Amino acid sequence: GAVVSQHPSRVICKSGTSVKIECRSLDFQATTMFWYRQFPKQSLMLMATSNEGSKATYEQGVEKDKFLINHASLTLSTLTVTSAHPEDSSFYICSAGGWNEQYFGPGTRLTVT
């Protein structure tokens, strides 16, 4: 299967700061990437769909000004959590699509203190 990487794997930041998470497709080009958030023992929640060269499409209830997504190339999408608060602490996972199936990155665990 295809390989998707994420960086960093873990990050701790102070409330009010911003954090950038990178998602890379290593061995294929992904015109579409997805960003998910998962709280402990809960299901995946799709936050946004990231399309190369265009604005991301956000799911209802996700603040686009708080979660900035940039998909500058066919292999890189970034998610920036701006002005982070403790309630933003979660497991953030990206995925990239082949023709049909999705391949997930290893996830980034964000803790906001």
Partner 1 sequence: QKEVEQNSGPLSVPEGAIASLNCTYSDRGSQSFFWYRQYSGKSPELIMFIYSNGDKEDGRFTAQLNKASQYVSLLIRDSQPSDSATYLCAVNSSGGSYIPTFGRGTSLIVHP
Please give the backbone phi and psi of residue 86, each rounded to the nearest 5 degrees, phi first. Answer: -55, -30
Pick 75 or 108: Cβ nearer partner 1:
108
Q: How far is the CB of 20 from partner 1 (least distance, A)?
A: 19
How far is CA 30 from each of CA 11, 47, 72, rounded to the nearest angstrom?
25, 18, 11
User: Contact positions toward partner 1, by CB under 8 A?
Assistant: 1, 32, 34, 43-44, 46, 49, 91, 93, 97, 100-107
The minimum distance between CB 16 and partner 1, in angstroms, equals 27
Q: Taking the complex as a whole, how short is the minimal distance between the CB of residue 29 and partner 1, in angstroms? A: 14
With 0-12 CB in 10 A as exposed, 13-18 as middle and 19+ as buried, what is 10?
A: exposed
Question: φ, ψ for residue 65 (rounded to 5)?
Answer: -80, -15
**C-beta closer to partner 1: residue 69 or 93:** 93
